[in-house]
């Protein structure tokens, strides 16, 4: 028996050694998940980061590396991205491959470590509008606070000098603030009147760069210390790009314009046609990506739908334009704005001032351009040129409608439906498409035909 044990004991020890060695090898191999951010900071890049961090957690990655090269972009998207980085359970490092300007600087400062290529830059985070001009101070104030708090989130280092214990910021918040406000003075670094931008060497000297490298591989092996690693890169899907495109503020303003314009022109013509179809499609394209991304919630979409129904009820059912119409308009605007905000239920604590301002501006731009376009098109349709093709040709009107409608001029009848201003009129036992020339006309009101145009009779109420 003892002889048997002595024989198998060496085999057992060899097996244990090999198993432990293989297990250790497997455990020591690190997984680095890389996300490329090499374009303007917008909702598309926000989706890239959000989806990438989620996939990195699923894969139990050891670290996330952002390969960054951007001149900046939307403040609200950058704020969402920096928040996701700060609260990521997986360490997030950034490799600045040339530029980290404006919103890119904010995102970089949120990362656990910052690495830069020689010749790269970080800074210049002043909030500007689309023409490049600095926004009012209330926007700068919030950006100053946000970038300062991002730097503060990394805490302080404890330094012992003799009998003294010093606490030094890992990333000085005042330096971060100087990247936004040209009034901030940092002794021995920058004077008032200049917005701070670091080169790679300067960033190293002042604690805003943890190492200079020429490639992702050098960052991983030299600074992160991973000799044996697996590099997995996030690959955006066509759905990510489509959702990001549809969530662009410019496109969202355009969709709002189509929604409002479609509703307006549909109410000016009898029946349902192209304007209503355009408005419905635009509404779906507006709300669908926001709903899928978790921004638009059921009650926010319901607000918009109820608002539309109230406006329609005001036009077709309730005389005049009163409480229902005003309430409906307000609900539509509120629903459009709320769907752009990153709130949870009725809790808006996480909604920032830039996010609310961006959402309000997007909706108001769409509404403003929509009303201007409606007035312009109303005057252009049927006029000589391109817009003449939108209306019936005069020759066709004369050939088909003139012999019948000419005899109706001067005749009296009654409004078969409410004219607001379009509807149906009853004249000598026949129903015709009619348009009011004297404001809203209630059903049953006596009317008189004054002219015809585009196969419609134009009437006014006989009081």
Return mean pLDDT, the chain. 80
What value does the mean pLDDT take over residues 148-155? 93
> Which of 193-202, 264-273, 405-414 is least confident?
264-273
The crossing angle, in degrees rounded to 10, of helices 238-246 and 43-58 is: 140
- With a cut of 90, say whether residue 223 has pLDDT above it: yes
What value does the mean pLDDT take over residues 92-106? 94
pLDDT at position 24 is 44
What value does the mean pLDDT take over residues 12-40? 69
What value does the mean pLDDT take over residues 47-70? 94
What value does the mean pLDDT take over residues 301-308? 85
pLDDT at position 94 is 97
**If 0-12 CB within 10 Å is exposed, 13-18 middle and 19+ buried, where does residue 207 land?**
middle
The most confident of the ranges 31-45, 295-309, 394-408 is 31-45
C-beta atoms surrounding 295 within 10 Å = 19
The answer to pTM > 0.85 is no
Cα–Cα distance for residue pair 218/62, rounded to 1 Å: 17
Cα–Cα distance for residue pair 324/341, rounded to 1 Å: 26
Position with higher pLDDT, 25 vs 123: 123
- With a cut of 70, say whether residue 250 has pLDDT above it: yes
pLDDT digits (tens, 9 = 90+) for 379-421: 555 455 544 444 444 444 444 444 456 677 888 888 888 887 7
Please give the share of the chain, as a percent, with pLDDT higher than 90: 31
> Which of 113-122, 385-394, 453-462 is least confident?
385-394
Phi first, then psi: what are they for 44, rounded to 5°? -70, -50
- With a cut of 90, say whether residue 218 has pLDDT above it: yes
Position with higher pLDDT, 363 vs 369: 363
**404 closest CA partner among 363, 370, 433:** 433
Q: Which CA distances in Å does 70 have to 73, 78, 101, 111, 123?
A: 8, 12, 6, 15, 11
pLDDT at position 357 is 76
The most confident of the ranges 86-90, 242-246, 356-360 is 86-90
- CB-CB contact of 455 with 397 (8 Å): yes
pLDDT at position 2 is 46
What value does the mean pLDDT take over residues 103-111? 95
Instruction: Show the tokens assigned to 451.
Output: 């002219």
pLDDT at position 431 is 84
Across 57-84, b (16+ Cβ under 10 Å) vs e yields eeeebbbbbbbbbbebbbbbbbbbbbbb
- With a cut of 90, say whether residue 305 has pLDDT above it: no
> Which of 1-15, 69-83, 107-121, 255-269 is least confident?
1-15
Position with higher pLDDT, 362 vs 58: 58
């Amino acid at each position: 028996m003892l002889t048997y044990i002595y024989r198998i004991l060496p085999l057992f020890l060899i097996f244990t050694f090999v198993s432990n060695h293989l297990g250790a090898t497997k455990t020591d191999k690190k997984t680095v998940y890389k996300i490329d951010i090499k374009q303007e900071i917008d909702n598309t890049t926000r989706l890239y980061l959000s989806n990438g961090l989620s996939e990195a957690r699923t894969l139990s990655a050891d670290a996330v590396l952002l390969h960054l090269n951007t001149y900046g972009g939307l403040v609200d998207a950058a704020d969402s991205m920096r928040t996701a980085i700060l609260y990521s359970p997986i360490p997030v490092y950034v490799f600045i491959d040339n530029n980290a300007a404006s919103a890119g600087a904010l995102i970089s400062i949120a990362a656990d470590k910052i690495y830069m290529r020689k010749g790269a830059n970080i800074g210049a985070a002043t909030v500007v509008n689309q023409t490049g001009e600095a926004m009012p101070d209330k926007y700068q104030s919030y950006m100053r606070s946000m970038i300062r708090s991002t730097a503060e989130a990394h805490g302080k280092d404890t330094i012992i000098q003799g009998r003294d214990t010093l606490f030094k910021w890992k990333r000085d918040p005042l330096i971060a603030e100087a990247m936004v406000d040209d009034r901030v003075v940092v002794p021995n670094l920058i004077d008032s009147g200049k917005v701070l931008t670091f080169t790679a060497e300067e960033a190293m000297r002042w604690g805003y760069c943890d190492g200079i490298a020429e490639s992702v591989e050098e960052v991983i092996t030299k600074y992160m210390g991973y000799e044996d690693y697996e590099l997995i890169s996030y690959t955006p899907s066509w759905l990510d790009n489509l959702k990001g495109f549809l969530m662009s503020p410019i496109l969202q303003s355009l969709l709002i314009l189509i929604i409002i314009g479609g509703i307006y022109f549909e109410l000016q013509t009898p029946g349902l046609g192209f304007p209503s179809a355009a408005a419905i499609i635009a509404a779906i394209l507006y709300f669908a990506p926001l709903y899928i991304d978790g921004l638009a919630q059921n009650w926010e979409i319901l607000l918009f739908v109820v608002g539309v129904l109230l406006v329609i009820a005001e036009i077709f059912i309730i005389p005049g334009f009163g409480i229902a119409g005003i309430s409906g308009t307000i609900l539509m605007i509120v629903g459009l704005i709320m769907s752009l905000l990153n709130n949870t239920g009725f809790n808006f604590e996480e909604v920032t001032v830039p996010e609310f301002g961006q959402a309000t501006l997007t909706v108001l731009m769409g509404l403003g351009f929509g009303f201007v376009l409606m007035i312009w098109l109303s005057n252009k349709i049927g006029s000589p040129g391109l817009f003449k093709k939108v209306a019936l040709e005069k020759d066709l009107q004369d050939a088909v409608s003139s012999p019948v409608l000419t005899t109706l001029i001067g005749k009296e009848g009654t409004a078969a439906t409410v004219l607001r201003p379009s509807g149906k009129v009853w004249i000598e036992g026949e129903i015709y498409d009619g348009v009011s020339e004297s404001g809203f006309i209630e059903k049953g009101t006596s009317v008189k035909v004054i002219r015809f145009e585009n196969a419609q009779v134009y009437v006014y109420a006989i009081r």
